[in-house]
Structure 1
Amino acid sequence: MTLQTTDTTIAAEPGFLVRMARMLWADKFALCAAIFLIIILVVAIVGPSWLGDLATKQNLRGRNAAPFEWERGWVWWMGADALGRPLFVRIIVATQNTLMVAAGAVAISAVVGTTLGLIAGFSSARINQIIMRLADVIMSFPSLLIAVIVLYVLGSSILNLMLVLSITRIPVYLRTTRAEVLEIRERMFVQAARVMGASSRRILFRHILPVVLPTLTTLATLDFAYVMLAESALSFLGIGIQPPEITWGLMISQGRQYLTNAWWLSFWPGLAIILTTMSLNLLSNWMRIALDPVQRWRLEMKGRKNG
């Protein structure tokens, strides 16, 4: 009878996605951040094909046009740049390159850093020392300085920028993963898998990696914001993405010489960076709690009350 009741209770529990949706609904700041990021993602996908031609069409009669002049049309509500191109459209088109660089850099650094961290935490002391010394070498140089030197030598392109930013972020994932593996490998379920004859690869990717993944997911969300800011800084310095390609950071750089008489040229792309970064930080904070079995009960209780 007890077994039947237990089975009924387990079957009545909501699925993982339902529980995550309830916890997201319980945190209204994280919910707004998620909605904003979904809108940004949709804009990045459809924006260039929809408004790409309008973003490059010059109109010198409307150069540095002020914002909120609705009689000119809805695409001009943010104003125009020094060549008369609508800022609203250019921000939409620039979203794709900005997110592409950040997503590519985070994906490469996460995959490489996590793999090296798993190996360092589970292998012999000699391999561990070699990998950690490699991480120390990368971390001994300021990340932006490495990016400046490499991009100056190799030239500025989306691929080069993606690779440079990913290399500078590898030690973050490597050290985090290694620290988690050193603690997890001593747990009973790992010891049991080893006694049962499981290979090291199976233990790493089947038993240890799923436990480390929530921490890495939260870290990647934060790192996405950092990489996006780094790309903007490099573009602002003039060694990031070059015209005719555009990013939010490049738009800020192009508008800095007009700050005294046309502040909106740098203000709007800067606001896009601030809102996206803030949304990523809010969502990362929510994910840190939602993916932690010890703390997620707070969000689950809020979700039940609101439901």
Structure 2
Amino acid sequence: MTIHTLETVPAAEPSAPVRFARMLWADKFALCAAIFLLLILVLAIIGPHWMGDLATKQNLRGRNAAPFDWSRGIVWWMGADALGRPLLARIVVATQNTMMVAAGAVALSAITGTLLGLIAGFSSPRVNQVIMRLADVIMSFPSLLIAVLVLYMLGASILNLMVVLAITRIPVYLRTTRAEVLEIRERMFVQAARVMGASSRRILFRHILPVVIPTLTTLATLDFAYVMLAESALSFLGIGIQPPEITWGLMIAQGRQYLQNAWWLSFWPGLAIILTTMSLNLLSNWMRIALDPVQRWRLEMRGRKHG
């Protein structure tokens, strides 16, 4: 008599996007931050096409109109500026320039700093010293001072502001990447790749860089908030983006002289900066855990419970 036994088939592991979605769902603060940042991204893309005309059309009869006046329509609920332009429309339109400067500066500084850090951490001591002294020179000057001097000489534009802010942030990625490479290159899998005859370029970009990327991703998320605040500070000082272009920092600067009788001119763009910065910090804290294989299990356990 033959007895047939049924073998239990193990459940298939969910894909990486599904696991990250569950981990994000488990952290409600990070989920709210991600939704808010997604909304900001959408506004940055469609904002100028959607409300571009409203943001530039002047109405001197409604100058410094108070907020929460629903009788004029939802676009006026934040009030109007000194030229009668609705603040809601201007904040939506300003989102594109603000995000463009921050994203461009972070991307440029991250790519440049990461490449230099990989070279410094894996090359000869002489090359390492030259690259690190370059980073020390950049870090010896206050970042805002460098930005003020360069923008004063070259003029304020989106491209110049993006490049200047990127230069000041390169040492952050350079030093972080170099420190990671110096530790990773001594691990067994790197030694095995070298014994197998892999080239230095292949070891760097195929074996070391994927291990460094999670740390750099978390750093870039935090740095995005810093660059956005730096751009706002420069625009507030009058050497950042100039009219007719508009950013959140420039809106705060334009409302400075009306703080006593029209506080909403600076309050709403300031609130947009605060909420975006806070969302980036919350999301970077979640990413630090989600991208770390040692700590990821905490979010995965919570994700299974909620899933």
**TM tier, smaller:** over 0.9
Counterpart-to-counterpart distance in 2, 1:225 and 1:37: 12
- Aligned runs of 1:110-149 on 2, under 5 Å? 110-149=110-149
Letter of the aligned partner of 1:267 in structure 2? F
| C-alpha displacement of 1:73 | 1.1
Q: Secondary structure at the match of 2:255?
A: helix
Report deviation, 1:50: 1.1
1:37 is matched with 37
3-state DSSP of counterpart to 1:12: coil
d(CA) in 1 for partners of 2:185 and 2:13? Answer: 30
Alignment-derived partner of residue 286 in structure 1:
286
Letter of the aligned partner of 2:78 in structure 1? Answer: M
Deviation string 1:27-76 (CA, Å, 9 cap, x unpaired) is 00000000000000001100101111110000000000000001111110
Corresponding position of 1:152: 152
Counterparts of 1:77 and 1:224 in 2: how far apart (Å)? Answer: 29
Between the aligned partners of 1:305 and 1:146, the Cα distance in structure 2 is: 50
Between the aligned partners of 2:215 and 2:177, the Cα distance in structure 1 is: 9
Aligned counterparts, 1:87-236, within 5 A:
87-236=87-236
Q: Which residue of 1 aligns with 2:72?
A: 72
The offset of 1:112, in angstroms, is 0.1
TM superposition score normalised by structure 2: 0.97
What does 1:249-260 correspond to in 2, within 5 Å?
Answer: 249-260=249-260
Structure 1: tracts of 5 or more residues without a match: none
- Deviation digits for residues 162-212 of structure 1 (CA, Å, limit 9, x no counterpart): 000000000000000000000000001101111111110110000000000
Q: Write the deviation string for residues 208-262 of structure 1: whole angstroms up to 9, x where unpaired.
A: 0000000000000000000000000000000000000000000000000000000
Distance in 2 of aligned mates of 1:60 and 1:103: 35
**Partners of 1:120 and 1:14 in 2: how far apart?**
38
Deviations 1:108-139 (A, max 9, x none): 00000000000000000000000000000000
Deviation at 1:306, TM superposition (A): 1.3
Task: Encode CA deviations 1:149-169: one digit per residue, 9 max, x unaligned.
Answer: 000000000000000000000
Task: Give distance in 2, aligned partners of 1:98 and 1:249.
Answer: 8
**CA offsets per residue over residues 73-124 of structure 1, 9 Å max, x none?**
1110000000000000000000000000000000000000000000000000
> What TM-score do you get using the length of structure 1 for normalisation?
0.97
Say which SS state the counterpart of residue 292 (structure 2) adopts.
coil
Distance in 1 separating the partners of 2:14 and 2:179: 33
* C-alpha distance in 2 between matches for 1:34 and 1:167: 28
Distance in 1 between residues matched to 2:91 and 2:295, nearest whole Å: 38
Corresponding residue for residue 49 of structure 1? 49
CA distance in 2, matches of 1:153, 1:64: 35
CA distance in structure 1 between the aligned counterparts of 2:304 and 2:49, rounded to whole angstroms = 42
- Aligned to 1:208, what secondary structure does the other structure show? helix
Offset, 1:305: 1.1
Q: Does 1:276 align with 2:243?
A: no
The CA distance in 2 between the partners of 1:75 and 1:50, in whole Å, is 12
Q: Aligned equivalents of 1:253 and 1:151: distance in 2?
A: 17
Alpha-carbon offset, residue 275 of structure 1: 0.2
2:12 matches 1:12: yes
Counterpart-to-counterpart distance in 1, 2:106 and 2:215: 14
**RMSD between superposed Cα atoms in Å:** 1.0
Q: Distance in 2 between matches of 1:263 and 1:239?
A: 23
Give, as a single letter, the amino acid of the residue that structure 2 aligns with 1:129: Q
Q: Hey, what's the Cα distance between the residues in 1 that align with 2:183 and 2:233?
A: 37
Q: 1:245 maps to which residue?
A: 245
Letter in 2 for 1:51: M
Distance, in Å, in 1 between the alignment partners of 2:290 and 2:75 is: 39
